[in-house]
């Protein structure tokens, strides 16, 4: 900063700064939000006076923009093209509207449902979107209140709409928000995939280039979704885990946390409809709160996120902890564990996925054979089918279990044992949900799809009901979830997984590390010889090209290496299994090899 600038006197910015100030001022002129206008006005004034920090901040906000992709939009709430705000959301809504109108047939009026969670500005962004959709001549249906993300995916199919928009940042930090898009018709309410994302992005960029926000047509003639829509979701989701009267007394004691999100009201209604006793709740986290005061990062996977749930569970003597993330599309589970300082341990996404996959296979097989009751674990748990049929029983053959390519091979073992088809997909639920014949799908990041004929996206509420139903089935015969995990290991083999995440400040380092592994592949990892390395950037028999390396070692273990799609991280997924020896021998073998491979991979990518 110059001496004059330091005294607060005006300076003459260089041409680059002048151009930057011009872009920021143009943005300011169309911003309808008083809070972001005030914030941006201050930054512009400080930058015009030569403030280096403010100039750098404006560069960060305006030198690029949040890219619209298959995950929609997501970022911190603030002014600027590289942030989430009313200008960006209005441009996105206008771009999506243009895409829907372009794809509509002659005489067809496109339609879209808009949902929102409890985050800051979610209702504002949703209302802006509804008005812009309606102004463009599209039938717009706004959800009646803040609701979980899965209800938007459900509404697209239930109402036969062209698309759906959900305003949420899921489990991101408190100051973030986002914009997720679903498509109807042949997409059946799944999240968008290519080329739809590129087509929508092109329209958004055209709108941003050619029009200002005040010039976008708006209308208040949008609809509000009826309560009957929510009732239909509750009824169909309750059918996933309908509890026979004979099992009511055997329900485990449950603690539930909504993680300051929107899951509780809907989850409670589903439990009531399904016949379950209402769980004890983590009072400090049960209601929506955009500040997320009790968690630094509202994600059940994050260290410390379940601390209040553990404390409540210890007080109540709970047998099971159920956690949804803030928009309730993910599910976290914890069970008692005397060897853990908290008294409980959170199950990995792979453990939950394996148990839910086994349950789905058993239910489907029993239904297909006309058997009224199935044995889920060699007389360990009787699965009653005496209630409403699950959606899984309605899927036409070939019935398929599916998971993302970085999830555990355990699900493949279940599929093989039951004679079902198994499919791996690229990471992202937009791929899992599109697998033909799907009866169950999951990804290790706590996403599960247990009722694909109702919702074509991960759904933390239906998954929670399914898991609670499993726990109740087990309790009838005096077994626990921990017992069922052991039963799984004895029947299908013991599977263990671990992750290594390397966060970087320079994204180029991730590319350099991937290139190094490709050009100088390791011969051994953690003392275990490498058998093969498959570069999936060229695709495979079932997978399109993706920046992933799949490493297999001579002991049958698998290591997946890929850049994160949402964060500046290199991610490593390690999966080890054993089906030899006693249960304890299997566990010991997996633990030792998992530790060796984790140490070896940390050394390789550090």
Based on the residue annotation, tell me whether 228 is a catalytic residue of this protein: no
3-state SS, 78-137, equals: CCCCCCECHHHHHHHHHHHHHHHHHHCCCCCCCEEEEEECCCCCHHHHHHHHHHHHHHCC
Helix 410-418 and helix 481-492, axial crossing angle in degrees, nearest 10: 70
> Which residue, among 542, 513, 303, has the nearest Cα to 404 in the 3D structure?
542
Q: How far is CA 60 from CA 36, 53, 82, 386, in A?
A: 16, 11, 7, 59
> Contact 449/252 with Cβ under 8 angstroms?
no
The alpha carbons of the chain give a radius of gyration, in whole angstroms, of: 25
Residue owning tokens 């360990």: 380
DSSP 72: B
Residue owning tokens 């005006």: 10
> Contact 46/9 with Cβ under 8 angstroms?
no
> Which residue, among 52, 124, 139, 43, has the nearest Cα to 88 in the 3D structure?
124
CA distance 202 to 66: 13
In a 3-state reduction of DSSP, which class is residue 486? Answer: helix
Tokens of 339: 């060897």
CA distance 183 to 169: 19
> Which residue, among 315, 268, 597, has the nearest Cα to 465 in the 3D structure?
268
CA distance 75 to 98: 23
> Contact 562/427 with Cβ under 8 angstroms?
yes
> Contact 235/227 with Cβ under 8 angstroms?
no
Catalytic residue among 170, 201, 469, 578: 170
Q: In what order do the strands lie in the sheet with 280-281?
A: 280-281, 254-257, 320-324, 331-336, 344-346
CA distance 188 to 276: 30
CA distance 151 to 410: 29
Question: In which element (H, E) is residue 200 found?
Answer: helix 196-210
With b for 16 or more beta-carbon neighbours within 10 A and e for fewer, the 104-116 pattern comes to: eeeeeebbbbbbb
Instruction: Give the N- to C-terminal CA distance of the chain in Å, as an integer.
Output: 38
Known catalytic residues are 170
């Amino acid at each position: 900063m110059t001496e004059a600038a330091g005294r607060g006197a005006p300076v003459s910015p260089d041409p680059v700064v002048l151009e930057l100030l011009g872009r920021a001022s143009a943005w300011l002129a169309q911003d309808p939000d008083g809070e972001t206008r005030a914030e941006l006005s201050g930054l512009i004034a400080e930058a015009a006076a030569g403030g280096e920090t403010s100039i750098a901040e404006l560069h960060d906000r305006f030198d690029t923009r949040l890219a619209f992709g298959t995950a929609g939009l997501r970022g911190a709430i603030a002014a600027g093209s590289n942030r989430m705000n009313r200008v960006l959301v209005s441009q996105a809504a206008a771009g999506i509207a243009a895409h829907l109108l372009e794809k509509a047939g002659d005489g067809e009026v496109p339609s879209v449902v808009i949902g929102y969670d409890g985050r800051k500005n979610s209702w504002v962004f949703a209302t802006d979107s509804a008005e812009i959709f309606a102004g463009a001549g599209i039938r717009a249906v706004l959800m009646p209140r803040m609701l979980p993300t899965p209800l938007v995916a459900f509404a697209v199919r239930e109402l036969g709409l062209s698309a759906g928009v959900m305003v949420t940042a899921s489990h991101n930090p408190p100051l973030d928000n986002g914009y997720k898009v679903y498509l109807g018709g042949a997409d059946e309410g799944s999240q968008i995939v290519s080329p739809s994302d590129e087509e929508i992005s092109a329209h958004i960029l055209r709108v941003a280039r050619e029009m200002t926000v005040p010039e976008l047509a708006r209308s208040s003639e949008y609809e509000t979704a009826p309560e009957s829509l929510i009732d239909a979701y509750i009824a169909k989701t309750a059918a996933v885990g309908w509890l026979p009267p004979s099992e009511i007394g055997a329900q485990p004691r449950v603690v539930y946390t909504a993680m300051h999100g929107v899951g509780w009201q809907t989850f409670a209604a589903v439990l009531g409809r399904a016949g379950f006793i209402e769980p004890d709740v983590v009072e400090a986290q049960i209601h929506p709160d955009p500040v997320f005061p009790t968690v630094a990062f509202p994600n059940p996977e994050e260290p410390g996120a379940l601390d209040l749930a553990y404390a409540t569970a210890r007080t109540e003597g709970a047998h099971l902890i159920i956690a949804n993330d803030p928009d309730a599309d993910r599910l976290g589970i914890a069970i008692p564990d005397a060897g853990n300082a908290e008294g409980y341990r959170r199950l990995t996404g792979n453990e939950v996925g394996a148990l839910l996959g086994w349950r789905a296979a058993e239910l489907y097989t029993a239904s297909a054979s006309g058997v009224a009751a199935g044995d889920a674990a060699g007389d360990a748990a009787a699965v009653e089918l005496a209630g409403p049929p699950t959606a899984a029983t309605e899927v036409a053959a070939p019935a398929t279990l599916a998971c993302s390519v970085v999830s555990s091979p355990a699900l493949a073992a279940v599929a093989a044992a039951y004679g079902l088809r198994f499919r791996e997909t690229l990471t992202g639920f937009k791929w899992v949900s599109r697998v033909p014949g799907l009866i169950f799908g999951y990804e290790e990041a706590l996403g599960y799809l247990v009722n694909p004929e109702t919702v074509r996206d991960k759904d933390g509420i239906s998954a929670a009901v399914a898991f609670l139903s499993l726990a109740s089935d087990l309790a009838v015969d005096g077994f626990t979830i921990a017992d069922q995990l052991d039963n799984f290991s004895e029947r299908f083999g013991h599977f263990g997984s671990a992750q290594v995440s390397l966060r970087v400040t320079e994204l180029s380092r991730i590319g350099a590390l991937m290139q190094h592994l490709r050009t100088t592949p390791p011969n051994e990892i953690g003392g275990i010889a490498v058998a093969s390395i498959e570069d999936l950037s060229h695709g495979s028999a079932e997978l399109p090209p993706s920046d992933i390396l799949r490493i297999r070692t001579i002991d049958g273990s698998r290591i997946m290496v890929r850049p994160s799609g949402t964060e500046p991280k290199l991610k490593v997924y390690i999966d080890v299994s054993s089906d030899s020896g006693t249960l304890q021998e299997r566990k010991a073998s997996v633990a030792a090899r998992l530790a060796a491979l984790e140490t070896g991979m940390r050394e390789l990518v550090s």
